[in-house]
């Protein structure tokens, strides 16, 4: 199903990477709450619009011609900001709409003591932010059913890529090797988030998909591997119970699971980076690990 126009609510890191893969003749609109980010969006090939929960005339006009909608704005205590501000437009004023992609998190599964989880695993969210995500997922899937449009919920693992990775943390002196026995995390390179979105959008495929790598791994191993590539001494190992962490950082370690990506693969998507070693090696070899996001949109022919 061909794209004619894309609209992104919340054009953050992952959504901007997706915009970079869109065909060059497809207009892409994206929202931000900060006018100071307009140039960042323009550099990514996105026509910037303001959205802080209230739909402006410009946003309404852009939505009217949109065929593919990406939602990357997280919910708050008041609920999902897009559904709160634009539900009636989504339900009745988007005649060209063909597909919706909603970016969520694997945090919705909660803690499974290191066991494997997949899309059929019941969600047992621990943190308040994950509880809100579960409800937002439910509402987006319900909206899709009500209006007869496929909704793909992408549950993302820990995101990294250019400008956001262990090399940057090592350079900045913020890298830590926290050791909590048995703890593992999945990760996903931003290029695979963008690629999975494009794949699901082109197929107009709905459903829930875990977007994660093949190898859930102890976090300290990632820092050690990056240190080796940089040829620097890794930071000392710190037992988890002795670490000074923010409440949010500590909450991440309260959830331990291995996330299966079998459903995404079964849909026909092949990961570009199957594990952190392949991804970090590519970032290091390409020399773009510290460059942040590309300043030019990488258009497909």
User: How do residues 211-225 score in pLDDT, each as one tens digit?
Assistant: 999 999 999 999 999
Over residues 131-167, the pLDDT tens digits come to: 999 999 999 999 999 999 999 999 999 999 999 999 9
For the chain, what are the domain ranges? 6-164+187-214+255-274
pLDDT greater at residue 247 or residue 30 = 30
Closest to 20 (Cα-Cα) out of 194, 253, 203, 217: 194
What pLDDT band is residue 299 in, cutting at 50, 70 and 90?
very low
State the average pLDDT over residues 249-276: 96
Res. 92: pLDDT tops 80: yes
Q: For the packed helices 276-286 and 219-230, what is the interaxial angle rounded to 10 degrees? A: 30
Instruction: Say if residue 111's pLDDT is above 60.
Output: yes
Over the chain, what is the mean pLDDT?
94
Strands 151-156 and 177-179: unpaired
Residue 288's pLDDT is 93
d(CA 189, CA 289): 12
Task: Tell me the pTM.
Answer: 0.95
Closest C-alpha among 176, 187, 164, 158 to residue 289: 164
Band of residue 258 on the pLDDT scale cut at 50, 70, 90? very high
Q: Which residue has the higher pLDDT, 251 or 210?
A: 210
282 Ramachandran zone, left/alpha/beta (phi>0; psi -120 to 50): alpha
pLDDT band at 69 (very low <50, low <70, confident <90, very high): very high
Topology of 6-164+187-214+255-274 in CATH? Rossmann fold (3.40.50)
pLDDT at 30 over 90: yes
Burial code of 83-119, b = ≥16 C-beta within 10 A, e = fewer?
bebbeeebeeebeebbbbbbbbbbbbbbebeeeebeb
Place of tokens 């909450």: 251
Please check the confidence at residue 168 and state whether its pLDDT lies above 60: yes
Instruction: Answer yes or no: is pLDDT of 229 > 60.
Output: yes
Closest by alpha carbon to 156, among 184, 185, 180?
185
| pLDDT > 60? residue 293 | no
């Amino acid at each position: 199903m061909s794209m004619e126009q894309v609209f992104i609510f919340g054009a953050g890191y992952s959504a901007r990477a997706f915009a970079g893969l869109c065909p060059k003749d497809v207009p892409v609109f994206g929202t931000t709450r900060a006018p100071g980010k307009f140039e960042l969006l323009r550099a990514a090939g996105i026509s910037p619009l303001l959205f802080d929960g209230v739909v402006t005339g410009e946003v309404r006009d852009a939505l009217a011609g949109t065929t593919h909608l990406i939602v990357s704005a997280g919910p708050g205590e008041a609920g999902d900001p897009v559904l709160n501000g634009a539900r009636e437009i989504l339900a009745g004023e988007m005649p060209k709409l063909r597909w919706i992609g909603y970016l969520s998190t694997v945090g919705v599964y909660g803690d499974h003591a290191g066991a494997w989880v997949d899309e059929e695993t019941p969600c047992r969210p621990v943190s308040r932010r994950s509880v809100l995500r579960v409800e937002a997922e439910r509402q987006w899937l319900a909206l899709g059913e009500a209006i007869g449009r496929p909704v793909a919920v992408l549950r993302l693992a820990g995101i990294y890529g250019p400008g956001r990775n262990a090399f940057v943390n090592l350079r900045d002196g913020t890298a830590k090797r926290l050791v909590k026995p048995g703890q593992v995390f999945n990760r996903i390179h931003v290029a695979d988030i963008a690629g999975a979105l494009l794949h699901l959008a082109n197929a107009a495929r709905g459903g829930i998909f875990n977007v994660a790598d093949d190898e859930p791994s102890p976090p300290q191993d990632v820092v050690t591997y990056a240190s080796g590539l940089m040829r620097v001494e890794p930071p000392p190992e710190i037992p988890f119970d002795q670490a000074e962490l923010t409440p949010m950082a500590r909450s991440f370690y309260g959830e331990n699971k291995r996330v299966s990506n079998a459903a995404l693969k079964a849909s026909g998507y092949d990961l570009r980076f199957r594990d952190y070693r392949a991804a970090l090696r590519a970032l290091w070899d390409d020399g773009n690990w510290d460059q942040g996001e590309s300043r030019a949109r990488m258009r497909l022919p």
